Structures are given as C-alpha cells and as structure tokens.
Structure 1
Amino acid sequence: GIWDVFRHTKKPFVASHSNARALCGHARNLTDEMIRALAERGGVAGINYCAAFLGSWEKGEPKRSLISDMAAHMKHMKMVGGIGCIGLGSDFDGIMSELEMDGPDKLPHLEEAMRREGFTTSEIEAVFHGNVLRVYREILG
C-alpha cells in the first residue's frame, strides 16, 4: 500500500486515483493521515472520477459520479494537506459507473464547482496541471 511507497522512496510521488476516505470509505481512498504524509513529501493525489470512490450508496442504488462530489473531495484534501497535494486522476477509459464528467470537455464544469467551493484561479490551475507537472519535473529532472 501507500505506506510501502513512503518507506521505499524519499521523493514525491503521485497517488494517481485517490480520494478522501473521510468522505467515502472505500479502502483505496486516502485517510487524512495519508493525505498529510503525501503533502509533506510534496506528492499529489489524483482525484478519481469513479462513483465508488466519491460517495456512498445503498445496495442496488445506481452509482453516479458527480462533479460536486469531486469538488468536495478536493476541498477536504486542501483543508488537510494544502492545495499542492491535489491533482486529477480521470481514468475516463476504465470507469464502469455513470459519469457526470465523462470527458475533458466537462472540465469547465469542474472548474465552476471548484470556484463554488472557494478555490481561486491559481489553485485551480495547480490542480488541473501544475501540481502533477511539479512532481514529474522533480522525479524526471
């Protein structure tokens, strides 16, 4: 798991499909402790668009991935680890649930939802591309 990655590297890394476990209890989501540790290392969590990682549903209830849920996970991660630890982990081609944001053409809708949650223009740019680019530049040189 993620703690093994922390033990084996001192560099930042990208947890590419990871949301906040405090908002959705899926085992692959990150606890607040994990988010803080990732942020301290300079790493980034790529928000997963899949409904199973965004919310909780009753058995048999259809799962729908909502942009507002994505923004809520980002807001939580920002409060826990700061803006520098948040990125996008779309996985458009591998999600089996219904997506409100089903392609890159919907990114303006995510931007609007983030603004409603209090994100600034520079924070949105960091989440959309800046944070992951920073990590890749540090790792790849």
Structure 2
Amino acid sequence: MIFDIHGDIWTDVTTKRIDGVKDVIRTYHLDRFKKGNMAGGIFVIWADPPHDTRPRERFIESVRAMSSEIWQNQDIIKIIYNSNDFYKAVEENKLGILIGVEGLSSLGEDIEGLYSLYQIGIRHCSLTWNEENPLATGIDGDINRGLTKLGKEAIKIIEDLGIILDVSHANDKTFWDIYENTNKPFIASHSNCRSLCDVRRNLTDDQIRAIGEKDGLVGLNGFNKFVHKEREKQTVEYLASHVDHIVELIGIDHVAFGFDFFEYLEDNTTDSFVEGEYKGTIGLEDISKTDNLINVLRKRGYKEEDIEKISYKNFLNIMDKVL
C-alpha cells in the first residue's frame, strides 16, 4: 500500500475541467493508481507554469475544479485529516487524499489567508515553489535571500493551525531559516540526496540530518534528473540508493515516497523547467511501477515492516503529530 506524499493531480484536474472534461481522476488515473497499489497521497494545488505569473487566479481556478471533482467522485475519493481517516478510506476502497498547496504565492502578503486555506481543507503547504515571493525564496531566487519577516509570521500561523510545512523547492537559506523558526516537525515531500545527485533541488546531508532532528520526513522523488546526472544511472536501483542514504543518516522512520510523477502536467508546464524530452526514471516511469522499487528494497534487506513504514506509515505518523 502506497501513500504518495507529492502529486500534482489537481493540476491535471484543473486543466481538463477548464476544457469541459469531468471525472478526471477516475478516467485518466485511477487504473494506474490501482496497479501501483496507491491508496492515497498529498494532492497539491500549484500555480503551474505559465500560470505562475497569475498565481491568485490560478489558485481560484484550481479550487473550483478540485471541489467539483471531489463532490462528483465521492465514491472513489475521501479527504483525510488524520490516520483514522486514511484507514477508513482504505476500508471504503477510496483514495485517501490530503489536500496540499505547493507554494503560497497566491496569498501575496495576505498571510491571514492561511486561515481560509485551512477552512477549505488544506493541511499541507510549502511557502514557495522555485520563485521568490513575499514569504520565502525558492531555488531560482537570490541565494542570499531566505525567509522574510512575513514568512516567519506565516510559519507561526501554519504551526498554530496544524498544517504540515514542506521545505521542498526552498533554497538553502530558506531551508535553514525554516529550521530555526519551527517548533513542529516539517517535511521535504519530494527531494533526494545532494551527495548522490548534486542538484539544488536535492538535500545536503546536513539538511537531511536537520529534518531528522525535527522528527520530520524526507519524501523520495522519482524525477530522473534528481536521481543521477548520468542518464544510464537514472534507474530504480539508484533511486533505492537514495533511500539507503537517508536511512543511514536519520533512520527508517524518517523516509517516505513523494514521487512527483509528470503524467499530471502539460508539456508547456514541464518545458519551463525540464531540458529535453522527459523519459522518467528507468523502472519507475509512473505510479504503476512502484513494485519495481519495492522489490529492489526487499533485495537489499528491507523487512516488510520497514517497507510499510516508508510506503505509508511514516507519513501517517507525521499527520497525527502535526495535524
């Protein structure tokens, strides 16, 4: 059973519903989810390029599309807020979905808007995607700019409400500013190890240790460019080495799956940050192939209890601590 802690599914729902298509998850994704034994995940609202230039408007469009999709597909979707909700969703043969937001650029400087996000069911957020915004700085921003004064105030609200804070996409200074200004566990929902693949989106060993110190979680990212710089090594086996490294640094209780698959995105979105044709990680091209990764972990000596922790139990634990 898999809980994928990062998926841009609401992006695909928004794009297709604007074009008049309904039942997007059932029609385009549910069979693949079932093949991959995916029981749920964090589905994020994201101002996908080219809509990142109009984040507030895109957020409203996404909430409208998401709300319609949820209401019209209650037989396959259950919104969850804790581990009990997840297990009920499994019993009812429904997807257990936690609603998240990737980047808060839609709020601008209106941090009290976080209360509204909470009221519509959002229980996860990152402060930024790759951009600079009034709260924080992503990997494409000024390396000397991190968390702003407004961002620090936002974190207080986020922790007070009980929303899971995510540091994936934050630049290094923002990461450490968040570390110094948080009291609750936080996660990096879709980031790998920089020591194994030296790209800015991956985490340094010190950052991974810091997440462990905060009792947080690192979600393994299936995007091939974050697995290894050489194409022939962008494989499910090498991705498993990122699991090994995280476990060596902070233990089995602090790693999860946050695959960040691309089948939910249009070409005009991925072209803005991916050079060349996207081919995926060999052996883990989409969620239906997760058994390949699980089998590699078994061959490397991970016990069934360990695999269950990585697959879903570790995140459920974070949910119950933070939410």
| TM-score of the alignment, normalized to the shorter chain, above 0.5 | yes
Q: Quick one: which of 24, 27, 32 aligns to 2:200?
A: 27
Q: Whole-Å Cα distance in 2 between the matches of residues 70 and 7 of structure 1?
A: 30
Residue 103 of structure 1: how far off its partner (Å): 2.6
Q: Which fold has the larger relative contact order, with Cα–Cα distance below 8 Å and residues 6 or more apart in sequence? A: 1
Q: Is the 8 A contact 1:47 1:89 kept in 2?
A: yes
Paired residue type of 1:132: F
Q: Is the 8 A contact 1:63 1:98 kept in 2?
A: no
Secondary structure, counterpart of 1:98 in structure 2: coil
Residue 18 (structure 1) aligned with residue 18 (structure 2): no
Residue 78 (structure 1) aligned with residue 247 (structure 2): yes
Paired residue type of 1:78: V
Secondary structure, counterpart of 2:308 in structure 1: helix
**Per-residue CA shift, 1:76-121, capped at 9, x if unaligned?**
1101111111111111135763223123221111111111222111
Residue 67 of structure 1: how far off its partner (Å): 1.0
Q: Whole-Å Cα distance in 2 between the matches of residues 64 and 32 of structure 1?
A: 21
Equivalent position of 1:66 in the other structure: 235
Paired residue type of 1:92: F
Residue 26 of structure 1: how far off its partner (Å): 0.8
Note the residue ranges of structure 1 that are not aligned, 5 or more in a row.
Answer: none
Paired residue type of 1:133: L
Note the residue ranges of structure 2 that are not aligned, 5 or more in a row.
Answer: 1-173
- CA RMSD in angstroms comes to 1.8
Q: Is the 8 A contact 1:44 1:85 kept in 2?
A: yes
Equivalent position of 2:298 in the other structure: 115
Paired residue type of 2:222: Y
Identity of aligned residues (%): 32
Paired residue type of 2:185: P
Equivalent position of 2:279 in the other structure: 98
**Which has the greater radius of gyration?**
2
Between 122-131 and 5-14, report the one with greater CA deviation.
5-14
**Per-residue CA shift, 1:36-59, capped at 9, x if unaligned?**
1111211111111111111022xx
Residue 40 (structure 1) aligned with residue 213 (structure 2): yes
Q: Whole-Å Cα distance in 2 between the matches of residues 91 and 126 of structure 1?
A: 19
Residue 5 (structure 1) aligned with residue 178 (structure 2): yes
Q: How many residues align?
A: 136
Paired residue type of 2:254: C
Q: Whole-Å Cα distance in 1 between the matches of residues 297 and 319 of structure 2?
A: 24
Equivalent position of 2:227 in the other structure: 54
Q: Whole-Å Cα distance in 2 between the matches of residues 131 and 2 of structure 1?
A: 21
Secondary structure, counterpart of 2:196 in structure 1: coil
Q: Whole-Å Cα distance in 2 between the matches of residues 118 and 80 of structure 1?
A: 17
Q: TM-score, normalised by structure 1?
A: 0.87
Secondary structure, counterpart of 2:203 in structure 1: coil
Residue 64 of structure 1: how far off its partner (Å): 7.3
Secondary structure, counterpart of 1:45 in structure 2: strand
Residue 30 of structure 1: how far off its partner (Å): 1.1
